[in-house]
Structure 1
Amino acid sequence: MVRVLELSDVSVVRDGNVILDHIDWTVESEDRWVVLGPNGAGKTTLLNIVSASMHPSSGVARVLGEQLGRVDVFELRPRIGFASTATSRRIPPDETVFDAVLTAAYAVTGRWNEEYEEVDTRRAERVMREWRLEGLRDRRYGTLSDGEQKRVQIGRSVMTDPELLLLDEPAASLDLGAREELVQLLGAYASSGEAPGMVMVTHHVEEIPAGFTHALLLAGGRVHAAGPISEIITGERLSEAFGLSLVVSTSEDGRFAARAQS
């Protein structure tokens, strides 16, 4: 087991506002973490630190064994897979789905004059199969539904066999069918021996795939609770973090559901 992430006493302060407050957190290569918390809890900022897109105001952040502030982030970032709405906006709408996945090999968006090796093409073909994108191969990215675009984003993020995979609200805005298809795919991937350490930010416990092992609850920029998922995703813990009396149920396949207590 390899430690892929270690935050020690990490804080982020912007314009006098404390966004993250003395965060301690470690992620091992076999861990699959979900991060939850109310709006404004600091989830996006935390993910920006973990993706090497932002440095903390204080404390030490080590990603894949490298300390932020002492490493060339342009060499570090290609080792991290990151699927988010922000990355989606950089994909040209007229790009084919296959090229949108393939160009991740060069960490670019938009096919230009790159020369791809056969190993890159084979890897892209495999990713297309794994994420049910084969039928969309020649479609233009801008014509896809939200659910299809989400799968392309994740396909790009795993194309380079990352050592750490970050998912920023992968099921946001999806209808029920598209959400369940994506959650099923993520659960199968998370449960496989080939998956790297994973961190997924979400707003809803219903979007947590089976196979995720740990949960981090943020509230007010601080760690409210962190640990094995069965100990953290409980009515008591969520009620404290969200300030609302909640009931949590768990299905036989490890999926969660939450509702307000009547």
Structure 2
Amino acid sequence: MEEENKIVDLQNITWTRTKKNVLNDVSWRVAKGEHWAVLGLNGSGKTSLLKIIAGYQWPTTGTVSVLGHLFGQTNIPELRKSIGWVSSSMDERFHTRPSDSVLEIVLSGKHASVGLYEEISREDIEKAKGLLRQLRMDDLADQAFFSLSQGEKKRTMIARALMPSPKLLILDEPCTGLDLYSKEELLSAIENMGRSPEGPTLLYVTHHIEELMPAVTHALLLKQGKIVAAGPKKSVLTEELLSETFCLPVSVDWEDERPWIHIKSKTYNQ
């Protein structure tokens, strides 16, 4: 793989906490033009893997290269400006600012600040409004963020993460807490983003495979800190590999390039 096409390159990553390997000899490459799902049960190592990629956590052993920058030889805070991250923990940082509007929240993404402290240009405002249009949120630009529904908050935070034009966007269980309608609205917006040639590389983290829209091209399966499988999604999201990953016998159906998982109840009850 040519260097300029490497988005993420992890080699033999181990991360140990309280004498236990949370990640164990993980090697994984993400190339430009790929969008990856990262799946596994709670405690499988998904969040630890993300923190290492974003430079918030240092591996015990192994090498990390993100967007062509080798960790240990690069400015991590500067690199983070090219990495967007959307998670529930990010939403919570704005609970102390009830009067901030949707537009102000999105604009704060340019400098990764909670609140606006830097000068904002007309160009910044137009870009933020364009992102809200892209996520079908433009009619709510002046509304207070705290008054939004959960789905609207998620879309606002994705627009915020896109404000600095990141090359890599991590979506950490973005559908948590959403009702069926709000989830499908959000997934539709993510699908459109994934199909855009100007959009960032997506890492979509979940343990619900039905959230994987057609734009997701590859999948990584984690179990107890080890890779079960990694590669093109059709070759990885199989009954055998998913049953191993989720510790349950399952079947998988595909509909319009989207996988749906079912527990094999007869086998499970035996």
Q: TM-score, normalised by structure 2?
A: 0.93
Q: Are residues 1:127 and 2:131 paired?
A: yes
1:153-201: CA deviation from partner (whole Å, max 9, x where unpaired) = 1111111111111110011111000001111111111112111211010
Q: Does 1:228 align with 2:235?
A: no
**Shift in Å, 1:77:** 0.6
- Tell me which amino acid in the other structure corresponds to 1:27: V
- Out of 93, 109, 112, the residue aligned to residue 104 of structure 1 is 109
Cα deviations across residues 45-78 of structure 1 (Å, max 9, x unaligned)? 0111111211111100111111223322111111
Partner letter of residue 214 of structure 2?
A: A
Q: Which runs of 5 or more residues in structure 1 are unaligned?
A: none
Secondary structure at the residue paired with 1:225?
strand
Which residue in the other structure is 1:187 paired with?
A: 191
Kept in 2: contact 1:95–1:111 (CA 8 A): no
1:136 corresponding residue in structure 2? 140
Instruction: Look up the equivalent residue of 1:256 and give its one-letter code.
Output: P
Task: Tell me, yes or no, if the aligned pair for 1:171 and 1:179 is still in contact at 8 Å.
Answer: yes
Equivalences for residues 11-26 of structure 1 within 5 A: 11-26=14-29
Aligned to 1:95: 100
Instruction: Give the structure 1 partner of residue 253 of structure 2.
Output: 249
The residue correspondences of 1:37-76 to structure 2 (distance < 5 A) are 37-76=40-79
Instruction: Give the corresponding residue for 1:198.
Output: 202
Equivalent of 2:35 in 29, 32, 35: 32
Which shows bigger deviation, 157-166 or 114-123? 114-123
Superposed CA deviations along residues 183-233 of structure 1, whole A, max 9, x for unmatched, are 111111111211121101011011112211000000010000000001111
Inter-partner Cα distance in structure 2 for 1:226 and 1:89: 32
Alignment of 1:157-172 (within 5 A): 157-172=161-176
Contact preservation (8 Å) 1:84, 1:170? yes
Per-residue CA deviations over 1:6-25 (Å, capped at 9, x if unaligned) read 00001100110110001000
CA distance in 2, matches of 1:238, 1:10: 23
How far apart are 1:93 and its partner, in Å?
Answer: 3.0
**When the two structures are aligned, how many residues end up with a matched partner?**
260
Q: Find 1:261's aligned residue among 260, 264, 267.
A: 264
CA distance in structure 1 between the partners assigned to 2:98 and 2:19 by the alignment: 39
Shift of 1:26: 0.5
Cα deviation, residue 150, structure 1: 0.6
CA distance in 1, matches of 2:151, 2:213: 16
Amino acid at match of 2:174: P
TM-score normalized by the length of structure 1: 0.96
CA RMSD of aligned residues (A): 1.1
Q: Secondary structure at the match of 1:105?
A: helix
> 3-state DSSP class of the match of 1:215?
strand
Structure 1 residue ranges, 4+ long, deviating more than 6 angstroms after superposition: none
Does the 8 Å CA contact 2:129/2:141 hold for their aligned counterparts?
no
Taking the aligned partners of 2:105 and 2:253, their CA distance within structure 1 comes to: 38
Percentage of matched positions with identical amino acids: 37
